[in-house]
Amino acid sequence: MFNVGDKIVYPMHGAGIIDSIEEKDILGEKQAYYILKMPGEVKVMVPTTKAEEIGVRNIIDKGSADKVIGILEQDETVMDKNWNKRYRDNMDKMKSGDIYEIADVVRNLSFKQKEKGLSTGEKKMLNNAKQILVSELVLAEHASQEEVEQLVDSKINTSYMMFRADDIQPESVVNKFIPFDGTGTND
């Protein structure tokens, strides 16, 4: 059972704070709901009786946050070369709600984006994983979203250069946004 003011994580959505606990009548059924205040002023209702079953958990502590940052500083883990299998594996990690698995997805997909670029689906997954990671670290570290985003990007860039600098030709690194509408240039 969680209480008002608790900082919690709702898998696939990120970290938030329990704003209130309210009884609601939905489709003729009265039930108690956690009203979660999520990043971006989004409010989410989660049935109190199903919260733990769907993976709602307390946010990590400072020591665990340091371990998460440590994951971003490591080399990527082995991923399947088949994008479809890789996507499913990463989605399973995301659904687990485990912050360490989410950090692994962020780092691995960030590396892959720098090397070859990502498919549209993997770009969306990277953005979602990063939002979930940042939202939890903001609450765990008592820092601003901007500070945490900069920290995450810095750690990934540093580890990428450390583990990949010798293997990569600078011209092969994707570092330019090319619009999907074909208006991008290659200069």
For residues 32 and 90, state if they share a domain.
no
Exposed, middle or buried by CB within 10 Å (0-12, 13-18, 19+), for 125?
buried
Domain of 66, in residue numbers: 62-172
Q: What is the pLDDT of residue 165?
A: 73
Rg (C-alpha) for the chain, rounded Å, is 19
Number of domains in the chain: 2
Structure tokens at 62: 């400072």
Whether 110 has a pLDDT exceeding 60, the answer reads yes
Whether 22 has a pLDDT exceeding 50, the answer reads yes
Greater confidence (183 vs 87) lies with 87
For residues 113 and 153, state if they share a domain.
yes
Within a domain: 179: no
Mention every residue, 6+ apart, whose C-beta is less than 8 A from residue 120.
none
pLDDT-based confidence at 82, cuts 50/70/90?
confident
Q: What is the pLDDT of residue 17?
A: 95
For residues 154 and 72, state if they share a domain.
yes
Condensed to tens digits (0 to 9), the pLDDT of residues 142-181 reads 999 999 999 999 999 999 999 987 655 545 444 444 444 4
pLDDT-based confidence at 184, cuts 50/70/90?
very low
| CATH number of the domain that residue 39 is part of | 2.40.10.170
Within a domain: 185: no
Within a domain: 75: yes
For residues 128 and 49, state if they share a domain.
no
For residues 46 and 66, state if they share a domain.
no
Of 58, 78, 101, the residue that ends a domain is 58
Q: What is the pLDDT of residue 167?
A: 58
Q: What is the pLDDT of residue 168?
A: 52
Top-confidence range, 10-19, 33-42, 63-72? 63-72
Q: What is the pLDDT of residue 125?
A: 96
For residues 103 and 67, state if they share a domain.
yes
| CATH number of the domain that residue 118 is part of | 1.20.58.1290
Q: What is the pLDDT of residue 186?
A: 45
Within a domain: 187: no
Query: Do 68 and 133 contact (CB within 8 A), yes or no?
Result: yes
Cβ neighbours around 46 below 10 Å, total: 19
Q: What is the average per-residue pLDDT within 119-136?
A: 95
Answer whether 0.75 is exceeded by the pTM.
yes
Within a domain: 17: yes
For residues 137 and 164, state if they share a domain.
yes
Q: What does pLDDT average to over the chain?
A: 89
Within a domain: 18: yes
